[in-house]
Structure 1
Amino acid sequence: MKPPLAFAIPGDIATLTGGYIYERRLLEGLRQAGHDVQHLQLAASFPDPSAADMTEAVAMLAAVSPDRPLILDGLVFGSIDTTGLARVRAPLVAMIHHPLALETGLSSDRQDHLFQTERDNLRLARHVLVPSPHTRRILVDRYGADPRAITILRPGVDRPRLPPAPDPMPLILSVGILHPRKGHDILLDALSRLADLDWRAVIVGNPWDADHAAALSRQRAASPVADRVRLAGRVSADELEELYARASIFALATWYEGHGIVFDEALARGLPVVTCDTGAVPDTVPPGAGLLVLPGNPAALADALRMLLVDPARRQAIARAAREAGQGLPSWQDMADSASLVLSDCAP
C-alpha cells in the first residue's frame, strides 16, 4: 500500500505558471498512483508572507501527521521561518524549482535573507525534489545540500492534440507569464529589428506583473512592427494548442529558468527554439534543437530569429532535432510515478 502524503502549496493551485502546473500535475499524478495526498493551501502571500500568514502556515504544517511525508513548495520552503519549520513532525520534502535568492530584481539584503533561510531550511529536509540538473548543482555547490538527498524530477509533457499546421507566413510563438524575468521586452526589441522579413508573432502569458504588462503593451504600440505582434495575454488551452500547431518557431528571451516547461511543450511539437543560454535552459533544450544566445541581448536574439526565418532548410533541420528530443520526454504520470518511489522511501 502506498503511504499517505501531504503537499503544501501557496495560493490557487490552478494558477497558470510553470511552477503551479508542475505541482498540480504532480499532486494529481500521485493520487492516480495510489497515494492519499492531503492538499494544504497556504496563503498566496509567500514568499513575502505577513506575520499572520507565517503563523498560520507554521501551524498548518505542524499539524500534519508524522506518518505523511510533507512536500513543501519552494516559495514556502525558501521563505518560511526556520524555527517554525523545525516544529514540523512530518518528514519534509522540499520542492525547489530554483532558489528564491536567484530571482531577478531583489535587493542585496533580500537576497541574503532568502539565501540564509533556504540554506538553513535545507538542513531540515529529508529529501529535495528539483526539476533540473542545474538546480541540483546550485543546491550542492552554493547551499551545501547533500547530493544523495536530491532527486531530479523532470516535468512531464502532454502529447500534442493537433497535428502541425504551420501558417504560410512564419508564426513566432512565445509563452511565459508577463514578468520581467521572461524577457518579453527583449523579444519585442528583437522583433523590431526584423521589419524587413515576413513573419507574425504572438506572445501568450498571464499578466502576472500588471505594471510590466502595461509597459509591454506600450512598447508594442510604439514598435515599427506593432501590427505584426499580438500580446495575447492568457488564452484557453484550446487556443494555445492551436497556436503551437500553427507556429514555426518558439522564442523566449528569458533571463533565468529553473527548468522551463514551455520548452518541453515546444520540443514535443517539433518547434525550433530560440532562447537564452541561462539557468537550466541548456539542460532542457538539447544541442541541435535550438539556438541559444546570451540573455538581455536583443541584437543576438534578432540574429538567431533571422537565421531561421531566411533559411528554411536549417529551420527544418533544427525542427527535426527538436521533434526527436520531444519524443523522449516523460509524460506527467511518468514523472509522478518516479516521485512516488522517492516519497515512499521517505515514509517512516
Structure 2
Amino acid sequence: MSRVYAILPGGVDDLAAPSGGNRYDRRVCAGLAAAGWRVTELPVEGGWPSPSPEEKARLAGALAAIPDGAPVLVDGLVACGVPDVVEPAVRRLPLAVLVHLPLADETGLRADAAARLDALERRALRAATAVIATSDWTAARLVEHHGLAPDRVHAAAPGVDPAPLAVPSDSGGRLLCVAAVTPRKAQDVLVEALGTLSDTRWSCTFAGALDRDAAFTARVRRLVEAHGLGERVRFAGPLAGAALDAGYAAADLLVLPSHAETYGMVVTEALARGVPVLATAVGGVAEALGQAADGVPGRLVPPGDVAALAEALRAWLTDADLRERLRAAARARRDTLPTWDATVRAVAGVLDGLRLWKGPT
C-alpha cells in the first residue's frame, strides 16, 4: 500500500470558516484514501503563513517524526512562509507543496509585507521536491515568477460534484456571492455596482465568513447602508453542506468580483447547477468558467471596475435573451466540468513520483 503524510492547516475542518482550500485538501485526502493510499494526516495549528517560533518548532517536529523517504504533501499555507523549516526537511523527505494562493497575492498587504512573503515562498518552492498548483494558470505563473523548473510544477484543478439544476426565476434577480468578506474578494466593489441599479429588480446574498477582516466587513456594511440597500442585500455568513446547496439552488447568477483567484471553485459549483457566472478576469477564473458548445457560460469584467461590473449586471437583469443564452451555455458546461476523481489522479501521479525519490538533487 502506498503511503503519504499530509500536513494540513489546523483549521481545515472548521465549519465556521469554510474555504475552497480546506475543501480541496479534504477531498484530496479522502480520494487518496479511497484509491488505496494510506493517508496520515498531521494538522498543524498556527498563525500561517507568519507563525510564531513555537508554531514553527511544532511543524519542524511533525516533519521530524515522519520516516526517512516517506512522501509528504503539505498545504502551501503552512509551508510557503517557512523555508527555514522546509529546506532541512527535504534533505531526507520528498515533499510536495500544494499552492492554493501565492502568499503575496492576498489583497491588502503592505508592499514590504508582500515582498517578504514572496521571497519566503520562492525559497520554499525552490526547495520543495514538487509543487502542485490548482490551475494551469497558477502553475505557469509559479514557474515564471519564482523561476521553478517546469517539470517540478504540476496542475491539479479542483473537481466539482454533480448537482441538480437550479430553477431560474423570471427576472433573474437572485444574485449570489459566495466568498469570505475580505478585500481580495472585493464585495465593496460589488456593493458599489449594485448601488447604481436601484431601478432594477434584484436581491443579493453574500454567503461567506464575516470575521476574516473586521474593518473591511464594516466598510462593506456601511456601503450597503449608504446606498440604501439594506432591504436587498443579505449577509448570510458562512454556508456549507445543505445550506450552501440551497443557496446555489435559489440563485440566478453567481457574482465573484475578486481581485485575485487561482481558480475559483465557486464558479464550477454554480455551473454544476446550470447557474451562469459574472466574475472578474483574474488568475484562473477563465479556466474555471470554461466554454461549452453553446458559448461562454457567463461574463468576465476587469477587477476593481465598478462601472464595468454594473454594466454587466444591468445587461443580465434587463435582457431576457441574454439570460437564456448564458443559462443554456451553463447547462451545457455541466457536462464538461472537472471531477474530483481527476483531481485525485493528478495529485496521486505527483505522489507516485515522490515514491521514486532517491534524495535531494
Query: Would the TM-score normalized by the shorter structure come out above 0.5?
Result: yes
Query: Residue type matched to 1:92 in 2?
Result: L
1:27 to 11, 26, 29: 29
Query: Residue type matched to 1:11 in 2?
Result: G
Alignment of 1:116 onto 2:119: yes
Show the counterpart of 1:126: 129
Show the counterpart of 1:5: 4
Q: Is the 8 A contact 2:86 2:127 kept in 1?
A: no
Show the counterpart of 1:100: 103
Show the counterpart of 1:235: 239
SS of match in other structure, 1:264: helix
What is the CA–CA distance in structure 2 between the aligned matches of 1:163 and 1:97, rounded to whole Å?
28
Show the counterpart of 1:344: 352
1:202 to 201, 205, 213: 205
Post-superposition shift, 1:266? 1.1
What is the CA–CA distance in structure 1 between the aligned matches of 2:128 and 2:229, rounded to whole Å?
50
Query: Greater shift after overlay, 3-12 or 204-213?
Result: 204-213
What is the CA–CA distance in structure 1 between the aligned matches of 2:289 and 2:33, rounded to whole Å?
30
Aligned pairs (5 A) from 1:214-229: 214-229=218-233
What is the CA–CA distance in structure 1 between the aligned matches of 2:327 and 2:118, rounded to whole Å?
39
What is the CA–CA distance in structure 1 between the aligned matches of 2:131 and 2:331, rounded to whole Å?
31
How large is the RMSD of aligned CA atoms in angstroms? Answer: 1.7
Residue segments in structure 2 that go unaligned for 5+ positions in a row: 357-361
What is the CA–CA distance in structure 1 between the aligned matches of 2:54 and 2:46, rounded to whole Å?
12
What is the CA–CA distance in structure 1 between the aligned matches of 2:100 and 2:50, rounded to whole Å?
17
Structure-2 change in CA distance of 1:285 and 1:163 (3 Å): closer
What is the CA–CA distance in structure 2 between the aligned matches of 1:132 and 1:250, rounded to whole Å?
20
Show the counterpart of 1:64: 66
Post-superposition shift, 1:304? 0.2
1:177 to 172, 175, 180: 180
2:168 to 162, 166, 169: 166
What is the CA–CA distance in structure 2 between the aligned matches of 1:179 and 1:218, rounded to whole Å?
15
Show the counterpart of 1:211: 215
Post-superposition shift, 1:309? 0.9
State the Cα deviation string for residues 119-151 of structure 1 (Å, max 9, x = none). Answer: 122222221111111111111111011111111
Structure-2 change in CA distance of 1:67 and 1:48 (3 Å): same
Post-superposition shift, 1:84? 5.3
Query: Greater shift after overlay, 100-109 or 182-191?
Result: 100-109
What is the CA–CA distance in structure 2 between the aligned matches of 1:30 and 1:178, rounded to whole Å?
32
Aligned pairs (5 A) from 1:219-298: 219-287=223-291, 288-298=296-306
Alignment of 1:314 onto 2:322: yes
Post-superposition shift, 1:50? 0.6
Q: Is the 8 A contact 1:33 1:340 kept in 2?
A: no
Post-superposition shift, 1:334? 2.9
Alignment of 1:335 onto 2:343: yes
Structure-2 change in CA distance of 1:337 and 1:251 (3 Å): same
Q: Is the 8 A contact 2:83 2:121 kept in 1?
A: no
Alignment of 1:303 onto 2:311: yes
Query: Residue type matched to 2:264 in 1?
Result: G
Query: Greater shift after overlay, 137-146 or 239-248?
Result: 239-248
State the Cα deviation string for residues 181-230 of structure 1 (Å, max 9, x = none). Answer: 10111111111111101111111001222332233223223322321111
SS of match in other structure, 2:5: strand
Show the counterpart of 1:192: 195
SS of match in other structure, 1:157: coil
SS of match in other structure, 2:236: strand
Q: Is the 8 A contact 2:73 2:97 kept in 1?
A: yes
SS of match in other structure, 1:201: strand
Q: Is the 8 A contact 1:43 1:49 kept in 2?
A: no
What is the CA–CA distance in structure 2 between the aligned matches of 1:92 and 1:157, rounded to whole Å?
26
Q: Is the 8 A contact 1:202 1:231 kept in 2?
A: yes
TM-score (norm 2): 0.91
Post-superposition shift, 1:168? 4.3
SS of match in other structure, 1:86: helix
Post-superposition shift, 1:83? 5.5
Query: Greater shift after overlay, 48-57 or 77-86?
Result: 77-86
What is the CA–CA distance in structure 1 between the aligned matches of 2:143 and 2:239, rounded to whole Å?
38
Count matched residues: 346
Q: Is the 8 A contact 1:263 1:284 kept in 2?
A: yes
2:84 to 82, 85, 88: 82
